[in-house]
Amino acid sequence: MTATDGGSATGGDERGGPGGDTVAAVVRQWRAVHPDLDTGPMEIIGRINRCAALLQQAEDAPLRRAGLSRAEFDLLGALRRTGHELTPGDLARETFSSGAAVTKRLKQLTERGLAERRGDTRDRRVAHVRLTAAGRDLVDGILPEQLAYESAVLSGVDGPEQGELAALLGALLGQLEGRLGALRV
């Protein structure tokens, strides 16, 4: 079934559930303008983008209460889960951030006493970053609450469907991470 014959390229109703969603309305408008085009990709990518935007707008309540942004928590989390010092470049790769963004966030986190930097003994251009005890305690204290919050956000999706969604998104992400560079013009 295609998006142009009344169905959806995803195999379900284009509305995404009872009452539809904002992407379904956009798809209907595009079909009226270009009924010959397959809007199936838009139904998927548009919904992924809309979900990401809504999740960003909602912020992460437990993180906000702790005075952290998601990006700051990601840096602290990378240091905690790897269990060792990382360079700012390592942190940029771990958190999919730019070097400049990592530098700015690290400055804020070190000023708050959650992370500390030390210079490399062999190369003064290299810095090593580690969590302080306060940073480790903050991450360990907030992680269960953050996971509970994320579970609540996903509560409308049944357990087996969550697993299926995670697998599908994982497959898409793996494909994009491997091929996106080739798709850029």
Answer whether CATH 1.10.10.10 is correct for domain 41-154: yes
Residue 14 pLDDT exceeds 70: no
Q: Sorting pLDDT into bands at 50, 70 and 90, what band is 5?
A: very low
Minimum mean pLDDT range among 58-72, 84-98, 100-114? 58-72
> What is the pTM for the complete model shown?
0.74
Distance separating alpha carbons of residues 133 and 85, to the nearest angstrom: 13
Give CB contacts under 8 A, 24+ apart, made by 114-121: 114/76, 114/138, 115/75, 115/76, 115/79, 118/85
Give me the DSSP letters along 148-170.
HHHHHHTTTS-HHHHHHHHHHHH
Residue boundaries of the structural domains of the chain: 41-154
Tokens of 161: 């469907």
**pLDDT value at position 183?**
52
Residue 151 CB-density burial (10 A; 0-12 exposed, 13-18 middle, 19+ buried): exposed
**pLDDT value at position 2?**
36
Highest-confidence segment of 51-55, 56-60, 78-82, 93-97: 78-82
Residue 17 pLDDT exceeds 80: no
**pLDDT value at position 57?**
75
